[in-house]
């Protein structure tokens, strides 16, 4: 069974599994040249991630298909429904963890309790839940609901998670009547394999989001485009977690392009930026920069056009672009300056070969003593 939590003296890696031909770097060239998102290709990708040395796969998910320009070009589309895709990935892998995104808003706790217990029991304790509250009015409308205010969504999520975890852990029927949710009784077996519960992750670093993570989650996936900004988020997380008497791992979000030759990876990245799909990016930015506080803060000093272009070029995250030696040196520095525990990596040019290009980076980190293969330590979060 999966051990948790991870040894935070090391840096571990999560793979941001494709949830669309592209995500976070909206280059038409990247979308056009990606493999088909079919069973064969996605399973091969998961198996390669496991072989290369990633500890986990992270599957993002949204419900609404209102971003039509993006969809037409393959940006953030097609996206398989995360819990269903997770089940398939568990069947095709042996050890790697799979974190599936599922919304609290729009659903009932018993749905997630059953879903998560099934995924975790079936996989022998390899499942994690990325708890999201949703950030678009179109998504709320799809469920026939009003778009709930930002901080209230997190308050609802706190209550939701409390009910889910009680349904997982309590043997006897629960009687819960809160401000937002009501649940009486107990769920059928199975219960989750991981004890005391499956891994809980969240990815909102606003003050309300950080407060939520510090109270309920094990990892906070943080958007930050510089180590300095990441350290600020880490400091706030540390403060909030200490108040809650807990510890929560800081997991920066990043993208990587690794090439052996000097300047090659940089050239590939610059080339992708020349085919940025501005209409698609504007559509996605309208949602993301409209209602994600921590992302909006990174573009405050820019005008709308500049912000859209910067956002569409993976502007919200740490970028590791270069030779294995350069990327490894940057990761060693990141670890020592921010204390990051787990790096979530998006490969804009995803393919099994692209994942394998990360192996030489891991080899250097191993020599430096900040990474060990998951198979040596029984995989960990
Ligand atoms: C790496 C990453 C992945 C995310 N994946 C999803 C997702 O799949 N679905 C979703 O609704 N929100 C997703 N989010 C958004 C967060 O859940 C959250 O709504 C957002 O970051 C809110 O941040 P805030 O607390 O700063 O407002 C993701 C955020 C990050 C950083």
Is the beta carbon of 135 within 6 A of some atom in ligand 1?
A: yes
Position 3 confidence tier, pLDDT thresholds 50, 70, 90: low
Is the beta carbon of 206 within 6 A of some atom in ligand 1?
A: yes
pLDDT for 368: 97
Mutate to test the pocket of ligand 1, among 203, 237, 317, 347 (most ligand atoms within 8 A of CB): 203
Give the tens place of pLDDT for each residue, 95-137.
999 999 999 999 999 999 999 999 999 999 999 999 999 999 9
User: Is 0.75 topped by the overall pTM?
Assistant: yes
Mutate to test the pocket of ligand 1, among 65, 204, 296, 311 (most ligand atoms within 8 A of CB): 204
Is the beta carbon of 347 within 6 A of some atom in ligand 1?
A: no
SS3 per residue for 226-270: CHHHHHHHHHHHHHHHHHCCCCCEEEEEEEEEECCCCCHHHHHHH
Q: Which of ligand 1's atoms lies nearest the C-alpha of 61? A: 8
Question: How many Å lie between the centroid of ligand 1 and the Cα of residue 34?
Answer: 24
Position 6 confidence tier, pLDDT thresholds 50, 70, 90: low
Nearest CA to ligand 1 atom 28: 203
Which CATH fold would you assign to the domain 12-377? TIM Barrel (3.20.20)
The closest alpha carbon to 154, from 119, 200, 103, belongs to 103
C-alpha 125/C-alpha 117 separation (Å) is 9
Say whether 339 sits in a helix, a strand or coil: coil
Nearest CA to ligand 1 atom 18: 204
Mutate to test the pocket of ligand 1, among 18, 58, 60 (most ligand atoms within 8 A of CB): 60
Is the beta carbon of 134 within 6 A of some atom in ligand 1?
A: yes
CA triplet 285, 72, 296: central angle to 5 degrees? 5
pLDDT for 293: 61
Nearby residues of 33 by Cβ (< 8 Å), 6 or more positions away: 349
C-alpha 374, offset from chain centre: 19
Residue 320 per-residue DSSP state = E
The closest alpha carbon to 198, from 176, 177, 172, 219, belongs to 219
Nearest CA to ligand 1 atom 13: 132
Nearest CA to ligand 1 atom 1: 253
Give the tens place of pLDDT for each residue, 228-247.
999 999 999 999 999 999 99
Q: Which of ligand 1's atoms lies nearest the C-alpha of 134? A: 11
Is the beta carbon of 265 within 6 A of some atom in ligand 1?
A: no
pLDDT for 2: 63
State whether the Cα torsion 135-137-142-146 is positive or negative. positive
pLDDT for 257: 98
Distance in angstroms between the alpha carbons of the first and the last residue of the chain: 12
Nearest CA to ligand 1 atom 20: 204
Say whether 345 sits in a helix, a strand or coil: strand
Token output for 63: 């419900």
- What is the arithmetic mean of pLDDT over 303-318? 91
- What is the arithmetic mean of pLDDT over 364-371? 97
Q: Could you tell me the CA-to-CA distances from 87 to 37, 94, 111, 343, 370 in Å, in that order?
A: 16, 12, 16, 23, 31
Question: How many Å lie between the centroid of ligand 1 and the Cα of residue 96?
Answer: 22
Question: How many Å lie between the centroid of ligand 1 and the Cα of residue 82?
Answer: 14
Do the beta carbons of residue 111 and residue 184 sit within 8 Å?
A: no
Is the beta carbon of 230 within 6 A of some atom in ligand 1?
A: no
C-alpha 20/C-alpha 23 separation (Å) is 6
Question: How many Å lie between the centroid of ligand 1 and the Cα of residue 203?
Answer: 5
Mutate to test the pocket of ligand 1, among 67, 132, 156 (most ligand atoms within 8 A of CB): 132
Percentage above 70 pLDDT, the chain: 97
- What is the arithmetic mean of pLDDT over 173-189? 98
Do the beta carbons of residue 156 and residue 105 sit within 8 Å?
A: yes
């Amino acid at each position: 069974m999966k051990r948790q939590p991870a040894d935070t003296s090391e840096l571990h890696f999560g793979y941001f599994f494709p949830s669309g031909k592209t995500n976070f770097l909206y280059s038409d060239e990247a979308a056009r040249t990606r493999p088909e998102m079919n069973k064969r290709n996605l399973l091969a990708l998961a198996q390669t991630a496991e072989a290369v040395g990633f500890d986990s796969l992270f599957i993002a998910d949204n419900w609404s298909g209102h971003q039509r320009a993006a969809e037409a070009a393959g940006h953030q589309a097609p996206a398989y429904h995360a819990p269903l895709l997770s089940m398939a990935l568990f069947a095709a892998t042996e050890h790697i963890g799979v974190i599936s995104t599922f919304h609290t808003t729009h659903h009932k706790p018993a749905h997630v309790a059953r879903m998560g217990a099934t995924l975790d029991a079936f996989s022998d304790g390899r499942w994690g839940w990325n708890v999201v509250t949703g950030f678009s009015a179109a998504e709320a409308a799809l469920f026939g609901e009003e778009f709930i205010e930002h901080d209230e969504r997190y308050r609802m999520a706190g209550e939701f998670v409390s009910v889910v975890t009680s349904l997982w852990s309590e043997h006897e029927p629960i009687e819960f009547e809160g401000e937002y949710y009501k649940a009486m009784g107990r769920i059928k077996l199975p219960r989750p394999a991981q004890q005391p519960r499956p891994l809980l992750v969240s990815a909102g670093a606003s003050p309300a989001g950080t407060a939520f993570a510090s109270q309920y989650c094990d990892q906070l996936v943080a958007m930050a485009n510089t180590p300095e900004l990441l350290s600020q988020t880490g400091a706030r997380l540390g403060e909030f977690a200490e108040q809650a008497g807990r510890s929560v791992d800081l997991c920066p979000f990043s993208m990587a392009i690794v090439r052996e030759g000097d300047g090659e990876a940089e050239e590939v990245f610059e080339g992708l930026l020349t085919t940025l799909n501005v209409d698609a990016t504007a559509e996605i930015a309208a949602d993301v920069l409209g209602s994600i506080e921590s992302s909006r803060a990174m573009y405050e000093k820019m005008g709308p056009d500049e912000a859209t272009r910067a956002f569409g070029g993976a502007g919200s995250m740490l970028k590791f672009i270069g030779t294995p030696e350069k990327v490894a040196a940057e990761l060693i520095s990141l670890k020592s300056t921010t204390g990051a525990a787990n790096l979530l990596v998006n490969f804009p040019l995803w393919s099994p070969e692209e994942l394998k290009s990360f192996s030489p980076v891991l080899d250097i980190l191993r020599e430096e003593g900040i990474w060990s293969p998951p198979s040596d330590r029984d995989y960990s979060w």
